[in-house]
Chain A
Amino acid sequence: MKNTLEIKGLKAGIGEKEILHGLNLTVPKGEVHAIMGKNGSGKSTLAKVMAGHHDYEVRGGDVLLDGESILGLAPDVRARTGLFLAFQYPSEIPGVTIANFMRAALNARRAEGEEIDAVEYYNELYQKMDLLKIDRSFTSRSVNDGFSGGEKKRNEILQMAMLGPKYAVLDETDSGLDIDALKVVSHGVNSLRGPNLGILVITHYQRLLDYIVPDVVHVMAAGRIVKSGPKELALEMEKKGYDWVETPVPA
């Protein structure tokens, strides 16, 4: 379907182990969906399988971006098609500055010889950094190298802001953030909300959803979505814990 990110009966695993057991989820553009789930329920696996991580083997189902399957595409092609993943554990890239990294990423989306104009680029970068209350000196630091947990998460959202994806998956972007940083990051994400972006927020705390208020909340357990509902579901989960939804309802 146009203007949706659809996950249909997705089965994926590593080696003998199946982690996602036929997962269904649809995120329309313009909406924010949240996935809540216990540690180990397969949330990061879902994010990485969508992004094309080579460790995971897809064993069934499909992932469609605006109606087109992306499972056959290389990770970088998926990214350029408009899928962004804010990593739970972002990698460090020693010696490569944020400024150079982002510029390379933007240029990778353009035809050869049509590199982004430097002035235009820095204007954009500084504007997005201001939005996320990131100091200008940040641009000359190596990507995530020696960053605090909070800095890494902010850097992920900065990249999301710069790359302008169609669909963004934020994997535990709240972990490691203190309350002030959480507010800044949430403000950044909220300012990107709009009719042209679908967001899937992964978390296991309800707290984040006070700041990034979702349209729909899904609960994940053992590799499946076991319950979906309005934003109030998040509060209910917080109160009752995960156990009451643990046993999946038979289809």
Chain B
Amino acid sequence: MSGIVAQDKPDLQIDQDQGNFSYPEDYAFDAGTGLTEKTIDYICDTKGDPDWVREFRKKALKVFQDKPLPTHWASKDLENIHFDDFRYYLSKGAKPKRSWDEVPDDVKKTFERLGIPEKERAFLAGVEAQFDSEAAYSNIKKAVAEQGVVFVGSREGLKEHPEIFRKWFGKVIPTGDNKFSALNSAVFSGGSFIYVPKGVKVKHPLQAYFRINAENFGQFERTLIIVDEGAELTYMEGCTAPKFDSVTLHSAVVELVAMKGAKLQYITVQNWSPNVFNLVTKRGLAHEEAEIKWIDCNIGSRLTMKYPGVVLKGRKSRGEVLSIALANNGQHQDTGAKMIHAADETTSNIISKSISIGSGRATYRGLVHIPRHLKGCKNNTECDALLINSESRTDTYPAIVTRGEGNSVQHEASVSKVSAEQIFYMQQRGLSEGQAMSLSVNGFVNELVRQFPMEYSVELKRLIDLEMEGSVG
């Protein structure tokens, strides 16, 4: 049974049957469908949560139940989520029912083209079972442990490092921030907990793959990252979800804390299947002279709502959001950034690029808040939209800014189109229509992507290629 009512979307021209596979429903630990106090108790009992977590979850459940859906400003499509029909917890994945040979060729090819390491391919294709709601971590975990870095799942984090965990958990993003942060707070499982001690500069980016691997199962990761004074970290989150028949809900919460002089970069490249609701809350807290940078690329999903933010709490702290959203036929990307300036001489930078294809829709929502009493604060916001074919739609709800005297704010926005003439020109040079569109899109994001770490810009380019090839013919 599906938790989300399939909407009449005739323009969703994606072959839903291709690459589908399903899992047996006999999970050893299954909270059943729907969300009540009993579900919470079940989750706590199964996970062995401490009492304070049980209480935290139950409070969050009340907040979730009381809060209305933000349909007044976001999409009415949210009303198609039937929360009672979801499974909110599922810990032990049963062996999926297919072997590598049974994985459809196009799925294999996609993995290959995405350059996903062979070991991970089997997992992503559902051949190897993993704990459904737990994140899978790479071997890097061991390497960084030698530097005193803690890199574990959220469940381990709260049990084994309660002193740090409790201090910051739910502090950057309070339960009641929005309906979906409340939902996550009630049922979270999976996600990462990272602590980087003072002065430690983690050389290699830490990486985790998340995925949704049970049909109709919402995933509610909870990630908390604390980078102590003068320390540095880059974290990469990748999502390559295979295609499923029924619609799925993903609602993560990510909290970042950068202590004095720390640098933290959080990179996401998401490629959701076109039936996923992706409703994510991400925020960082930057102390004095600290720097938090979000690099956020959203491809796919039915609806994504995500506005990474930074609270600039300490003097001279810096916040940055670089984002790319690609809304293909039938998809809606509602993304943006929030910059809350709360100290003097704080700086923020937002660069957002959106691409709308066919009936795809991209919305930018920004919030830049600089209270009047602050001095020497700066914000720069740039929003560029690219439209591919006339149906496409883009909306910009620009920064809501409160200006103090000695603060400077700069805002630029542009909308451009890939014209049929441009595509024809490229086709005349021998590129297929898909390749031509892909090249135009890559051209549009190029300048921004140059600021990304190499491996991510390559992956993003491949994803764009695949997406554009799929959008024609």
Contacts and interface: CB of A to CB of B under 8 A. Distances in A.
Contact of B435 (A51, A54, A91, A104): A104
Nearest to A100: B439
Contacts of B442: 95-96
Nearest to A96: B443
A211 interface: no
A75 interface: yes
Nearest to B429: A105
B446 A90 contact: no
B451 interface: no
Interface stretch (A79-87, A201-209, A228-236): A79-87
B426 A85 contact: no
Contacts of A54: 420, 424
Contact of A105 (B419, B422, B424, B430): B430
Nearest to A90: B425
A104 to B, nearest CB: 6
A74 B433 CA distance: 9
B427 A94 contact: no
A120 to B, nearest CB: 18
A164 to B, nearest CB: 11
A195 B247 CA distance: 60
A109 interface: yes
Nearest to B440: A93
Contacts of B436: 76
A78 B435 CA distance: 16
Contacts of A105: 429-431
Contacts of B416: 94
Interface string B42-58: 00000000000000000
Contacts of B419: 91
A92 interface: yes
Given A54-B420, A96-B440, A96-B443, A91 B425 contact: yes
Given A94-B416, A95-B446, A85 B428 contact: yes
Interface in B421-473: 421-422, 424-433, 435-436, 439-440, 442-447
Given A94-B416, A94-B444, A95-B444, A163 B429 contact: yes
A101 B429 contact: yes
Nearest to B438: A104
Contacts of B443: 93-96, 142
Contacts of B446: 95-96
A54 B445 CA distance: 28
Interface string B208-229: 0000000000000000000000
Contact of B425 (A80, A87, A95, A100): A87
A109 B431 CA distance: 9
A14 interface: no
Interface centre among B419, B420, B431, B444 (most CB of A within 10 A): B431
User: Which of A52, A74, A80, A94 lies at the interface centre, i.e. has the most chain B CB atoms within 10 A of its CB?
Assistant: A94
Given A95-B442, A95-B446, A163 B422 contact: no
Contact of B427 (A74, A84, A100, A101): A74
Contacts of B439: 93, 96, 100-101, 104
A94 B440 CA distance: 7
B440 A51 contact: no
Contacts of A96: 439-440, 442-443, 446
Nearest to B473: A74
A51 B432 contact: no
A53 interface: yes
A159 interface: yes
A108 interface: yes
B120 to A, nearest CB: 21
Contacts of B429: 79, 101, 105, 108, 159, 163
Contacts of B433: 74, 76
A241 B455 CA distance: 62
With a 10 A CB-CB cut-off, give which of B430, B432, B442 has the most chain A CB atoms.
B430
Interface in A136-157: 142
Given A94-B444, A96-B443, A108-B435, A51 B426 contact: no
A90 B436 CA distance: 15
Contacts of B445: 95
Interface string A47-59: 0000111100000
A198 B445 CA distance: 39
Given A104-B439, A109-B430, A53 B424 contact: yes
7 contacts: A51-B424, A75-B424, A78-B428, A91-B424, A93-B426, A101-B429, A104-B439
Interface of A: 51-54, 74-76, 78-80, 84-85, 87, 90-96, 100-101, 104-105, 108-109, 142, 159, 163
Given A78-B428, A96-B440, 11 more contacts: A74-B427, A74-B432, A76-B436, A79-B429, A84-B428, A85-B428, A93-B425, A95-B443, A104-B435, A108-B429, A163-B429
